[in-house]
Structure 1
Amino acid sequence: MMLRFMLVALMAFAFPVFASSVRLKDLVEFDGVRGNDLVGYGLVVGLNGTGDGLRNSPFTEEMMVNILERLGVNVGGEQFRPKNVAAVLVTSTLPAFSRAGGKVDVTVSAIGDAKSLMGGTLIMTPLNAADGDVYVVAQGTVIAGGVAAEGDAARVVHGVPTAGIVPAGGRVEREVQFEFSQLSSIRMALRTPDFSTAEKIERAINSVLGARVALMLDAGTVELDIDATGLRSPAHVLSRIENIIVEPERRARVVIDQRSGTIVMDENVRISRVAVAQGNLTLTIEEAPIVVQPNPFSDGETVVVPRTTAAINEEIGTGLAEVPPGATLKDVVSGLNALGVSPMDMIDILKSIKAAGALHAEFIVQ
């Protein structure tokens, strides 16, 4: 069944695949238009006995005492041993052009020995950026990503109950100072650098705007002259060009996931003239000990006589399968299918073809 599925999946790629057109905004990142990473340290309370063991996580007790004292509760000298509190690291990303009062999602992860954050509430936690300033304050109910059940002698965990999210739990308190409207030029970084794709982007932008305002700097960068466009602001320029349709070029790739036996081939994969043969050796060892009993009323002992059966079986393949020079993806698939090999054997064959220098594509093994 697995082989049949694999052959169908590969044959699906064997049919002609027409190059697809993509919007410019899906091909590039605009210089300066990016998010900023935030991190903070806080407490999750209200857990159902699944919080940190304070003997093993003294920092949780220290932070809890500090918070209570700021709220006017004097807990000096008291012994705290609650199990409904957990210390967490809170992370988030401040999107580009976020304004004060806006909300963002935050991720909460336990750093102590808490067993689960399900049902807990994150109390007010400031989130700092790399410059040390507070940009977001987070608070809210944690939605954990797993479930745990525990009895007297066993415990079952599904997913990761010690991590979760607080949807829209962070409120933006400070804006990132970035004068986007004052830019005189913007660089566009290609997500997949390629000289041909960069040149196509340059030609497409100049054609739409009717002037030579875009210039390819290298395989991964195209610079846009904002002043030469004659439009009112950089925002107007980007709104005009971000939906331009470009047909990107792609490098020939073969991607293999050894864990699942998945093989993905690009339509541009080519193979030089090569012959492939495939066969397997199967080693079988079977232990079948025999218990020998003494004769009735004799003075003997019961003994175990070991018996081992070993055999080596060689599967007879289909011989050599030849792939002609300049073979396309369809030829490659047909040649491999002719051998009747399994997905794992197919991976080994592709590795060998690459090692022989006959596979002309980027080979990626995950």
Structure 2
Amino acid sequence: MKSLLLAVLLLIAAQAHAATRIKEVASVAGVRSNPLTGYGLVVGLDGSGDQTTQSPFTNQSLQAMLQQFGITLPPGANPSPRNIAAVLVTAQLPPFAQPGQALDVTVASIGNAKSLRGGTLIATPMRGADGQIYALAQGNLIVGGAGASAGGSKVQINHLSAGRIPAGATVERSVPTPFHAGAPLQLDLASSDFATARAVAEAINKAKGAGSAQALDGRVVRLNAPPSPEARVAFLADVENLAFDLAMPAARVVINARTGSVVMNQAVTLGPCAVAHGNLSVTINATPQVSQPAPLSGGQTVVTEKVDISVKQEPGPLIQMPASAKLADVVKALSALGATPGDLLAILQAMKQAGALQAELEVI
């Protein structure tokens, strides 16, 4: 585990200044994808659909669909088919998508269907955040799993209540973008950094002429692009591939409390300090025992448990850690402690409180 952590940290270490393309740190404002959502029905399931007694909305949706085809059920009728399931359909509408283009969709059950394998999604309108219909989804599901059950036993591989339909939706309406509005364009940086914004603006002005770009703040760079669409495309194609020297980011250590992962960038430095760390282990052993009553006592034989609890604390040596200005030296110093990634969470936090770790701690 310690060698794996050391390898990960060393792979992240890079040069203080690296040549980076603008397209890797910024995006054009307004040119983005839009999420689409729809509610529909999957039919043709082999008895693995919703139980309508527990999912009444599936039955209501079925009756509403039949009414659209001119079929009206008699009063009091309550069909309970097991080959139908209510689902939510989601997709991402990419920028500049035009009517007639195909999209991949994801279908997930919202009832108690056991499996969507082999089902067919009937025509489902897909709406955006404004409530307008932007695509229509329909097709056969692909479920990357399998399962079988018999006699109370069940075997399942992967997830059976969700699947995908490649090219399962057709775009019906395009989303307007400010790209063709003729106004100045805007680059949005992925993270707020004044040095990066200035470097991006300087690289653009050097390649396209003075006044082509202005850094408005630590995240926004305004572009004076040509008004015609063809010239704008050529202008942005050149701008996105411009290389510039990316400034050293702020020192940061990211800690994943769930998995025990610790990742730090090359700007992390370590001041001189001394660290002592010991391991505390608690062991609980439960042994079943049979309590037998005396003859003719009228008692009953019972099973009891004998529990033994032991606490063991291993001493931790006091290790002096020298000041380190490079990530490789910081990794070697932390590895010398012999601590697991889980122990590093507490050690790094204590070093930060002591003022020996010059970095920002972020727990995710």
* TM-score normalized with structure 2 length: 0.87
1:331 to 329, 332, 335: 329
Residues 1:93 and 1:232: Cα distance change in structure 2 (over 3 Å): closer
> Which amino acid counterpart does residue 328 of structure 2 have in structure 1?
K
Q: Which runs of 5+ in 2 are unaligned?
A: none
Instruction: Please name the residue that 2:320 is paired with.
Output: 322
Q: Tell me whether 333-342 or 191-200 shows the greater mean CA deviation.
A: 333-342
Larger mean Cα displacement after TM superposition, 3-12 or 60-69? 3-12
- AA at the equivalent of 1:336: L
Residues in 2 aligned to 1:336 and 1:112: alpha-carbon distance in whole angstroms: 50
Q: Which residue of 1 aligns with 2:180?
A: 181
Deviates more, 1:148-157 or 1:180-189: 148-157
Which residue in the other structure is 1:207 paired with? Answer: 206
- 2 CA distance for matches of 1:304 and 1:112? 43
2:45 aligned partner: 47
* Partner of residue 340, structure 1: 338
For residue 352 of structure 1, what is the aligned residue in structure 2?
A: 350
Structure 1 Cα separation of the partners of residues 304 and 124 of structure 2: 70
Q: Assess, with a 3 A threshold, how the Cα gap between structure 1 residues 61 and 314 changes in structure 2: closer, same or farther.
A: closer
C-alpha offsets along residues 76-132 of structure 1, whole Å, 9 cap, x if unaligned?
344412101011111212111111111111121211111111111110111112222
Classify 1:63/1:314 alpha carbon distance in 2 versus 1 (closer, same or farther; 3 Å).
closer
The reply on whether 1:147 has 2:146 as its aligned counterpart is yes
Taking a change above 3 Å as real, the CA distance of residues 336 and 132 of structure 1, as seen in their structure-2 partners, is closer
Once the two structures are superposed, the pairs formed by residues 74-153 of structure 1 within 5 Å of their partners are 74-77=72-75, 78-153=77-152
**Paired AA for residue 58 in structure 1:** P
After TM superposition, give the deviation of residue 45 of structure 1 in Å.
Answer: 0.5
Residue 34 of structure 2 is aligned with which of 36, 59, 65? 36
Q: CA 1:142 to 1:221, structure 2 compared with 1: closer, same or farther past 3 Å? A: same
1:221 maps to a residue whose letter is V
Matches of 1:289 and 1:80, distance apart in 2: 53
SS at match of 2:196: helix
Q: Matched residue of 1:233: which SS?
A: helix
Amino acid at match of 1:238: L
Partner of 2:167: 168
Whether the 8 Å contact between 2:180 and 2:229 is mirrored in structure 1 is: no
Q: CA deviation at 1:172?
A: 1.0
Query: Per the alignment, do residues 19 and 305 of structure 1 end up closer, same or farther by CA in structure 2, a change over 3 Å counting?
Result: same
| Number of the residue aligned with 2:257 | 258
The aligned amino acid for 1:315 is: E
Deviation at 1:305, TM superposition (A): 11
Q: Deviations over 1:62-84 (max 9, x none)?
A: 22122223224343344412101
Deviates more, 1:75-84 or 1:263-272: 75-84
DSSP 3-state at the match of 2:175: coil
CA separation in 2, counterparts of 1:355 and 1:231?
55
Aligned pair count?
Answer: 361
Residue in 1 aligned with 2:270?
Answer: 271
Shift, 1:343, TM fit: 2.4
Report deviation, 1:10: 4.1
Retained in 2: the 8 A contact 1:106–1:168? yes
Instruction: Give 5+ residue unaligned stretches, structure 1.
Output: none
Measured at CA, do residues 59 and 219 of structure 1 come closer, stay the same or move farther in structure 2, by a change above 3 Å?
A: same
Which secondary structure does the structure 2 equivalent of 1:21 belong to? strand
Paired AA for residue 322 in structure 1: Q
Contact 2:39 2:124 in 1 (8 A): yes
Q: Which residue of 1 aligns with 2:189?
A: 190
Q: Structure 1 residue 360: deviation in Å?
A: 1.6
Alpha carbons of 1:339 and 1:34: their partners in 2 closer, same or farther (altered >3 Å)?
A: closer
Give the C-alpha shift of residue 156 in structure 1: 3.6
Equivalence for 1:362: 360
Amino acid at match of 2:97: S
Identity of paired residues, percent?
A: 41
Whole-angstrom CA distance in 2 between matches of 1:286 and 1:231: 74
- Equivalent positions of 1:15-34 (< 5 A) are 17=15, 19-34=17-32
SS at match of 2:126: strand
**Contact 1:323 1:332 (8 Å CA) reproduced:** no
Alpha carbons of structure 1 residues 83 and 290: separation in structure 2 relative to 1, 3 Å: closer
